[in-house]
Amino acid sequence: MGFGQGQGGDHLTGFSTQEAFNAYEAVRHRLPATEPAEQHYRQVDTLEDVAEDFDVFLLDAFGVLNIGETAIPGTAGRIRTLKAMGKRVLVVSNAAGFPHAALVEKYTRLGYDFAAEDVITSRATLLAGLNGQRGQHWGLMATPSAGLRDLEGLNLTYLEENPAPYDAVDGFLMIGSAAWTETRQSLLEAALLKRPRPVLVGNPDIVAPRERGFSSEPGLFAHRLADRTGVAPDFFGKPFGNIFELAFERLGSIDKSRVLMVGDSLHTDILGARVAGIASALVSGYGFFAGHDFETAIERAGIMPDFVVNRP
């Protein structure tokens, strides 16, 4: 199966865990570089086993809070326990495809109690990074049914099957790929070959774990167009430092040695934590590596977490 081509219109890649891992490894030259870790990870059962070592827990969403639309058993209770211990718990997610309020509503529906300000997303990171570019006309990769809340101040045109907007816009925003098609990808690549323009990616993920496999995410298509057009996208979200800077601004004065990033992906969560200068914990029992060999993956990637937790 081709890179990024799912089985029909189900938004799934058809990738195995190994193929998803290989897809991330193939684009390492576009991900932040870090020095190899000198120490080996410590394996524990849950986050409570390391709670005394940290004051702040930054949690990925997919693979830590939920798989698709299903909450991971026990995580809500664990978060309540951490908060009762006086810990600060934030969500740091590459979920750019949905408005902020919709995400908070989703987490509440799944049994989580997060204040709106404690959810840090790559969607917000992209908006913070637009700076003086807000007046431009953007072609938008997004799912119309998700709505445009948070994006109201931008001049946007959805990218669909009509080729005209691809030629007319000043640049491209890639935030949600559930409705993206191979036809649209071809139109985008052709437009960039004809006239290179900025490409801003609000979700660097290549895949995300769902109930029935891995979904294709905007990062997958962004790397494809970079390979085929030579246009280097600007990424907003893990593993890039901009989303962590936003989280640190939200936290205020903190001791970074007391902050732990928790996620299921080596190439986004764990690499991002290393870039940000904070500790990390890889969830092995759910998400990306559930039922698979994470030890070999860590060795192959050279991305070393501080901890491996069986479940959040």
Do 225 and 138 fall into the same domain?
A: yes
Tens-place pLDDT, residues 109-123: 999 999 999 999 999
Containing domain of residue 114, as a range? 17-124+239-309
Of 235, 269, 288, which one is at a domain's C-terminal end? 235
Q: Is residue 12 part of a domain?
A: no
Domain end call among 212, 235, 258: 235
Closest by Cα among 144, 183, 145 to 162: 183
Same-domain status, 197 and 251:
no
Q: What is the CATH number of the domain that holds 199?
A: 3.40.50.1000
231, 245: one domain = no
Which amino acid type is present at position 3?
Answer: F
Whether 91 and 156 share a structural domain: no
1 part of a folded domain: no
Shared domain for 226 and 243, answered yes or no, is: no
271 found inside a domain: yes
Q: What is the pLDDT of residue 220?
A: 97
Are 105 and 79 members of one domain?
yes
Q: How far apart are CA 67 and CA 30, in angstroms?
A: 27
Please indicate, yes or no, whether residues 119 and 23 belong to a single structural domain of this protein: yes
Q: Is residue 138 part of a domain?
A: yes
pLDDT score, position 7: 36
Whether residue 120 sits in one domain with residue 151: no
Q: Is residue 151 located within the same domain as residue 292?
A: no
> Other C-beta atoms within 10 Å of 205: how many?
28
Q: What is the CA radius of gyration of the chain?
A: 19
In the chain, the number of structural domains is 2
Last residue of a domain, one of 235, 259, 282: 235
Q: Has residue 35 been placed in a domain?
A: yes
Q: Are residues 116 and 139 in the same domain?
A: no
Residue 9 lies in a domain: no
pTM of the model: 0.94
> 231-286: per-residue pLDDT in tens?
999 999 999 999 999 999 999 999 999 999 999 999 999 999 999 999 999 999 99
Q: Are the CB atoms for 139 and 166 separated by under 8 Å?
A: yes
149-156 LR contacts (CB < 8 Å, sep 24+)? 149/99, 149/100, 149/101, 149/102, 150/99, 150/100, 150/123, 150/124, 151/127, 154/130
Same domain assignment for residues 217 and 141: yes
Per the CB < 8 A criterion, the answer to whether 217 and 61 are in contact is no
Q: At what angle do helices 241-251 and 122-130 cross, to 10 degrees?
A: 100
Going from the C-alpha of 30 to that of each of 15, 33, 96, 300, the distances in angstroms are: 21, 9, 20, 17
Note whether residue 144 is domain-resident. yes
Mean pLDDT confidence for 137-159: 94
**Residue among 135, 140, 136, 232 nearest 192 (CA):** 232
Between CA 238 and CA 272 the distance in angstroms is 5
Q: Supply the mean pLDDT for the chain.
A: 93
Do residues 67 and 119 share a domain?
A: yes
What's the CA gap between 222 and 160, in Å, rounded?
A: 16
Cβ contact 260:58 at 8 Å: yes
Which residue, among 37, 40, 39, 41, has the nearest Cα to 302 in the 3D structure? 37
Q: What is the largest CA-CA distance in the chain?
A: 57
